[in-house]
Structure 1
Amino acid sequence: MDGGRRVRHHTGGLPKDAATSSQPAPPPTVLRHWQWWLVVALNIFFLLAGQTTALLLGRFYYDKGGNSKWMATLVQTAGFPIFFLPLLLFPSGHTPPTTQPTPRPPLAKVSSIYVALGILIAVDNLMYSYGLLYLSVSTYSLICASQLAFNAVFSYFLNSQKFTPMIFNSVVLLTFSAALLGIRGDSGDSTDVSKGKYVLGFMLTLGASASYSLILSLMQLTFEKVIKKETFSVVLEMQIYTSLVASCAAIIGLFASGEWRTLRGEMEGYGTGRISYVLTLVWTGVSWQVGSAGVVGLIFVVSSLFSNVISTLALPIVPIFAAIIFNDKMDGVKIMSMLIAIWGFISYLYQHYIDDSKAKKAVRDAHEGCGQSVP
């Protein structure tokens, strides 16, 4: 299935059956190829801007007096209603005449998948909330880079992703990057965090990275095996319904834990005032949704592994902003961890460049063999 996605990518969005039919498909236009890259670029921007802003606002919430882990979990998905507008503006398009209509999957099956993914997302967000509470933003973001290594493994088993030497090298480097921070095993980032809480934050963030990677692979598997319908509305529906379930789970946790009783006191005692408290939560929610839209969009147009690689691109961005805004310490261990992780990112990116070049050559050779010119 991954090979089919790459053919669609490099043929500028042609239907998959057209790429494998006995009659050669018409060559892609430059405009279609340009449109595909524009969509990818927009999703990358949404992912990086949303993720970076959300992480910084999440740390700001804790630093100024916020302490509710369930509220921090809820805002990661509660902003999903903003996607109802684009869902109405970009409904599912009509099936092209050259493409066989895709039967709709059973509603019960799709609903059960959304519920399962939503609950998994809620648990994942809760672990991230604890990690961000006990770790500095820079340490937290460096540990999160390990999600690429986890996703490479999950993509190999669930999405038929090839495990090339370059990808293996990327996995090893990112594992070493996270291990450096784990072996460090102290709370040098903050005098207010004990060694035990640092270790707990490290383990929960590492576990959250693994579960997040599993979520991405399961989303790609759902697109390919269950929904089998590639429209922008599918991406939005996936985001809306899984976020709805995750938000409901977070609300249940908020009331079951009793943390809802402390929210008024949090708002009254917030370091920058009540209005700032509300705005921090609102914009954190919006930022998470913007970043999530970029994540799901990249899964839709490329793959879950590529989406996760782009997520790690925020690695050198977040610690820099954290050092400026929160005065996070950037010691030698963090710098080495960052450099190793960036090397791992470049390693995978180079592998994607090689795959991209091979796919282009295969499409060009196929069209030239049929006597067609390729732009």
Structure 2
Amino acid sequence: MKEAQEEATEVDGSAKIQNGGRGSSGVVQYKWWIKIALFTVFVLSGGSVGIMLGRLYFNRGGNSKWMATLVQTVGFPIMFPLILMYLPSKTPSTQQQITKEPSWITLLMLYTFLGAFLAADCMLYTYGLNFLPVSTYTLICASQLAFNALFSYFLNGQKLTPFIANSLVLLSFSSTLLVFQGDDSEQTAKISRTKYIIGFVCTVAASAGYGLMLSITQLAFKKILKSQSYKVVFDMIVYQNLIASVAIVVGLFASGEWKDIKGEMEGYESGKVSYIMNLVWTAVAWQIFTIGYVGLIFEVSALFSNVISTLGIPIVPVLAVVFFHDKMNGVKVISMLLAIWGFASYIYQHYLDDVKEKAEARIANRQVDLTEI
């Protein structure tokens, strides 16, 4: 009996993650859409600001790749007030009583794996952002949606419909086109073709890693954590970023880059205060992004979370043109249009799923009413 209850709880938890918590209650659905909107704003604003400040760090004289990587994870302490808000009550709920919590060894292994994975992925992103124009870097990052859909198909049971397949093909072409573009900004002219290729490869590899990590995170919520508490989401962020930060700090000292930090700060074009503020706000921006994307994984799915982050594709290149004078040549324009088309294709599939869900719910309600009669 207990095993059956545990299995039912797991199924219910999985259903909430997959279906976005859209229950029969209109109030519940309304609150769910508010949360999705809030998480979406976090993803778009945090990601855009984080990328722009990261590029600004290198443009103004920053050279430490380990420091640029560290600020992507070290801002996790801002999670503590939110965790306190969602601390579980002393009396466990019925679901908490039924669901067997994972052992501390299992959690340690999970968080250590995800933290080390995050540290490596952030370093790859740092190399890409350092060697590529912001607009090029952002458009390549759109490929993470294709990677995530592939991994979600194998790990999370994500269905690959024609519209989703169309989305993946378009996003893949969107990124591939950027390999053939010429020098399109002052930054590209200053770096060698070799560094450009390294930046491209690192960004593609980071995008693949990011897509895989999202799918693994969703799988962990379903198979290991088995919880509907937001505290679990915040715990995931904190411990994952804590372990990643420790790994990056070790790399910072092992590489010897820590010796150059003081000189880098003094030689920063905008001054020491601007240097510190850049690092602080970059850290805050990436944590806001992290809250958003983990929240979307928890409420909907890893693939949906990745799609929302892809929605920021048109935002960053436009900001890059305004602030960093990147040029939007023909190849980039076509790449952006393909990326937007791919995103729209996936959103349309999500719309069709939503319509189908509502139709099935209406049929189920009618059957219940007929049974009562």
**TM-score band, normalised by the shorter chain?**
over 0.9
Distance 1:309 1:165 in 2: 16
1:272 pairs with one of 270, 273, 280: 270
CA distance in 1, matches of 2:158, 2:173: 22
Q: Give the direction of change, closer, same or farther, for the CA distance of 1:279–1:170 in structure 2 (3 Å limit).
A: same
Change over 3 Å in CA distance of 1:7–1:285 after alignment to 2:
closer
Q: How does 1:176-187 map to 2 (within 5 A)?
A: 176-184=173-181, 186-187=182-183
TM-score (norm 2): 0.92
2:245 is the alignment partner of 1:247 = yes
- 2:165 paired with 1:168: yes
Q: 1:209, 1:243 → 2: CA distance? A: 18
- Does residue 147 of structure 2 align to residue 150 of structure 1? yes
The separation in 1 between residues aligned to 2:345 and 2:20, in whole angstroms, is 24
Counterpart CA distance in 1 for 2:328 and 2:20 is: 43
One-letter code aligned to 1:326: F
CA-CA distance at 1:368 after TM superposition: 1.9
How many Å apart are 1:130 and its aligned residue? 0.5
Aligned-partner Cα distance in 1 for 2:342–2:19: 26
CA contact (8 A) 1:10 1:359 kept: no
Amino acid at match of 1:58: G
**Retained in 2: the 8 A contact 1:6–1:359?**
no
Task: Report the CA distance between 1:364 and its aligned residue.
Answer: 2.1
Q: Structure 1 pair 7/146, CA: closer, same or farther in 2 (3 Å)?
A: closer
Could you tell me which of 103, 106, 128 is aligned with 1:106?
A: 103
Structure 2 residue corresponding to 1:81, chosen from 70, 77, 84: 77
Of all paired residues, the percent bearing the same amino acid is: 50
> Which residue of structure 2 aligns with residue 139 of structure 1?
136
| Unpaired stretches in structure 1, ≥5 consecutive residues | 12-27
Question: Which of 294, 297, 300 in structure 2 is aligned with 1:296?
Answer: 294
**Aligned residue for 1:29?**
25
1:99 is displaced (CA, Å) by 8.2
* Contact 1:95–1:101 (CA under 8 A) maintained in structure 2: no
Aligned-partner Cα distance in 1 for 2:358–2:97: 26
More helix by share: 2
Q: Residues 103, 327 of structure 1: CA spacing in aligned structure 2 closer, same or farther, 3 A cutoff? A: same
CA RMSD of aligned residues (A): 1.7
Rate the CA distance shift 1:98–1:145 in 2: closer, same or farther, 3 A.
closer
Provide the C-alpha distance between the structure 2 equivalents of 1:181 and 1:148, rounded to a whole number of angstroms: 17
The equivalent residue for 2:59 is 63
User: Does the Cα contact within 8 Å between 1:131 and 1:201 map onto a contact in 2?
Assistant: yes
Within 1, Cα distance between the matches of 2:334 and 2:262? 42
1:5 to partner: Cα distance:
3.4
Distance change (3 Å), C-alpha of 1:66 and 1:357: same
Gaps of 5+ in 2: 1-10
Q: How does 1:287-326 map to 2 (within 5 A)?
A: 287-326=285-324
Q: 1:10 aligns with which of 7, 15, 22?
A: 22
Aligned length: 356
Indicate the residue corresponding to 1:22 in structure 2. none
Match of 2:123 in 1: 126
For 1:25, the equivalent position in structure 2 comes to none
Once the two structures are superposed, residues 313-341 of structure 1 have per-residue CA deviations (whole angstroms, 9 ceiling, x without a partner) of: 10000000110011111111100000000
1:284 aligns with 2:296: no
Secondary structure at the aligned position of 1:167 is classed as helix
Equivalent residue number for residue 3 of structure 2: none
